[in-house]
Chain A
């Protein structure tokens, strides 16, 4: 066996693969197709990262490659991928996209809006929204976090007061990914003051153009800088009743469902990014010469790479378990929490190792290595912090 044969495969681990009904041909075709778009996805991405913007050309490439319709049912112009199919395609996207912000914006679009509308929306809402969302003509976002409610999401104060024709929506939302780009924002708000998290909240698909919706200035962030973020203000916005997703009071169950898909999407992307990062580190270890030999010959380097590989494959196994649990029709609460925790923490650890392995070059922005670390840190916070995931795991274990 040559040493080259020990390189990790670009393709996802076979452990993530096939369940009954898995469309392997479609997934392979999609992945091969994405390879042809790599140059457009990555064009000048570091300029976007520095400026804190996402260029229209790169987002259009995502739309034209068909990625915005991955989770939209076929009847509405999408591909209707299953959890397993989606995980493989997004993991592959992560291996070819050099910018985590682009994938994050895509995942936000898919999970915030496409997923809940397709699952819980009325036939009229699906017909009105899904084709444009699938094509990427309209961009989706969702608004959950508020200044006084982060991990305690259902402490939110935003109110959607029901009346004869719809809802009057008032409140503040903060740290909203894609808010500067979004056309449709799924807003979670209290619709029944007498009820708590269970039954007291609803999800509304709010058109950004409605009077009273205002978007704050773009937030400056540590990482994921090309995934624009802003705060939102809703000042007595009159939202039509037809904008209600599912039933009134169903906000908790919709959010629980959405968060599972969000974790699946975002962390499948991260897994792909970690595979690309490990390949970069291996190449560096084999070619960088110090003290008369390639640095990969030193155990300080080779053991670090072995640890990166172990973290990566451990994370991949957790994602595979989460996908299997989701495809099995169960709640998958423990597996999803474990996958999120394992992948996000592995990504931070591997990204720090990648910087250290590259030394001074890893610390320089132009190599793209340091961006991986900045981007990875966010994964410990969004979609439920590591502490919240540990709470969930402990609860599912009976504590």
Chain B
């Protein structure tokens, strides 16, 4: 399972049990739609740190960075680039 597939599965299992992972659009606004709230962002960040091995700085606790799967993928990609 790819990293994004794991994140997709986590979001559905934690926040949107009625949505099958394959049905979660990559550009869906997770915050506007109410899938993820403020505590949800903290849970998501903890998941990203634990499962994807990235460190999220305090300044990166920004809704825009977690607004959609696409945004989350971009955040992870930027961190991977920095690490590389």
Residues of A within 8 A of B39 (CB): 391-392, 395
Partner of B61 from the list A154, A253, A391 (CB cut-off 8 Å) is A253
A14 within 8 Å of B (CB atoms): no
Residues of A within 8 A of B31 (CB): 196, 198-199
Residues of B within 8 A of A395 (CB): 39, 42-43
Partner of B42 from the list A154, A249, A329, A333 (CB cut-off 8 Å) is A333
Partner of A331 from the list B37, B49, B62, B63 (CB cut-off 8 Å) is B49
A242 within 8 Å of B (CB atoms): no
Partner of A257 from the list B41, B58, B64 (CB cut-off 8 Å) is B58
In the complex the two chains form, what is the Cα distance from A331 to B42 in whole Å?
8
In the complex, the chain B residue whose C-beta lies closest to that of A195 is B63
A329 and B55 contacting across the interface, CB-CB below 8 Å: yes
In the complex the two chains form, what is the Cα distance from A329 to B56 in whole Å?
8
- Taking CB atoms and an 8 Å cut-off, the chain B residues in 36-84 that contact chain A are 37-39, 41-43, 45-46, 49, 55-64
A256 within 8 Å of B (CB atoms): yes
A253 and B64 contacting across the interface, CB-CB below 8 Å: no
Number of interface residues of B (CB under 8 A): 21
Shortest distance from the beta carbon of B13 to any chain A beta carbon, whole Å:
9
A334 within 8 Å of B (CB atoms): yes
In the complex the two chains form, what is the Cα distance from A157 to B60 in whole Å?
25
In the complex the two chains form, what is the Cα distance from A396 to B44 in whole Å?
9
- Taking CB atoms and an 8 Å cut-off, the chain B residues in 5-21 that contact chain A are 14
In the complex, the chain B residue whose C-beta lies closest to that of A119 is B58
Residues of B within 8 A of A331 (CB): 42, 45-46, 49, 56, 61
- Taking CB atoms and an 8 Å cut-off, the chain A residues in 163-214 that contact chain B are 195-199
A277 within 8 Å of B (CB atoms): no
Interface residues on A, range: 20 to 34
- Taking CB atoms and an 8 Å cut-off, the chain A residues in 99-141 that contact chain B are 119-120
Residues of B within 8 A of A196 (CB): 31, 37-38
Residues of B within 8 A of A20 (CB): none
In the complex the two chains form, what is the Cα distance from A175 to B45 in whole Å?
31
A197 and B46 contacting across the interface, CB-CB below 8 Å: no
A250 within 8 Å of B (CB atoms): yes
Shortest distance from the beta carbon of A1 to any chain B beta carbon, whole Å:
43
In the complex, the chain A residue whose C-beta lies closest to that of B66 is A198
A256 and B37 contacting across the interface, CB-CB below 8 Å: no
Residues of B within 8 A of A198 (CB): 31, 37-38, 41, 63
In the complex, the chain A residue whose C-beta lies closest to that of B42 is A333
Complex interface bits, A366-395 against B, C-beta within 8 A gives 1, otherwise 0: 000000000000000000000000011001
Shortest distance from the beta carbon of B12 to any chain A beta carbon, whole Å:
14
In the complex the two chains form, what is the Cα distance from A328 to B54 in whole Å?
11
A359 within 8 Å of B (CB atoms): no
In the complex, the chain B residue whose C-beta lies closest to that of A116 is B58
A256 and B58 contacting across the interface, CB-CB below 8 Å: yes
A252 within 8 Å of B (CB atoms): yes
B63 and A334 contacting across the interface, CB-CB below 8 Å: no
In the complex the two chains form, what is the Cα distance from A249 to B38 in whole Å?
13
Partner of B64 from the list A197, A199, A329 (CB cut-off 8 Å) is A199
The 5 closest A-B pairs by CB, nearest first: A198-B63, A253-B61, A197-B38, A257-B58, A329-B55
Inter-chain pairs besides A199-B64, A249-B62, A333-B46, 14 sampled, C-beta below 8 Å = A198-B38, A199-B31, A199-B62, A246-B59, A250-B59, A253-B60, A253-B61, A330-B46, A330-B49, A331-B42, A331-B45, A392-B39, A396-B43, A398-B14
Residue contacts A-B, CB under 8 angstroms, 25 given: A120-B58, A154-B38, A195-B63, A196-B31, A196-B37, A196-B38, A197-B37, A197-B38, A199-B31, A199-B62, A250-B59, A253-B59, A254-B58, A256-B42, A257-B61, A329-B55, A329-B57, A331-B46, A331-B49, A392-B39, A392-B42, A395-B42, A395-B43, A396-B43, A396-B46
